[in-house]
Amino acid sequence: MAVTPAIFDDPKMGKQARELFDDAQELLERIAAKNLLIPRGVYAFWPANTSGDDIQVYADDARTEKIATFYFLRQQMQKPSGQFNHSLADYIAPVDGGQRPPLQDYLGGFAVSIHGADELAEEFKLQHDDYSAIMTKALADRLAEAFAEYLHKEARIAWDLGATNNCRMPI
């Protein structure tokens, strides 16, 4: 049995919430049946090490050609004594950590998009259906979030991350 959102049982908003949900499901079925929205995504991993609060990205595992540097700030909040302000650079092995050669670490990244949402929303607007235009953009946003989660999982599986090591993020 499917679990439904608790708001459906709300005496004030339940009826409208159910109608909105049903409308979204109907539009989502139409989108899927006609392939009206197309997810696209890419991920990559690059050899990387940190130098201070910066992440240096290299062209290959030889790490002789630097292709980019990402400059990160530390958290700017005041913390209690003994706690430090984190930086994203803290999670990549340092280039000068005492090992020779430096520890082999990597920086991963991905990007996703949902193509067709603007065009479909515009079609609805031309039909004076602003409700469906807004619903299309909302669904496209949620689909992009879901696709990002999916692509993140695929990248982690491809690199054998999470399932057999001490990685704290579930896949």
- Find the range with the poorest average confidence among 12-16, 69-73, 97-101, 131-135: 97-101
Q: Answer yes or no: is pLDDT of 11 > 80.
A: yes
Amino acid 2: pLDDT: 67
Residue 171 pLDDT more than 70? no
What confidence score (pLDDT) does residue 163 get? 58
- pLDDT tens track for 40-61: 999 999 999 999 999 999 999 9
Q: 29-38 pLDDT, tens per residue?
A: 999 999 999 9
Per residue in 89-121, pLDDT tens?
999 999 887 666 778 899 999 999 999 999 999
Residue 83's pLDDT is 87
For residue 81, pLDDT over 80 is answered with yes
The pLDDT of residue 53 is 93
Edge-to-edge strand list for the sheet holding 38-51 = 66-71, 54-58, 38-51, 105-115
Q: Would you say residue 170 has pLDDT above 80? A: no
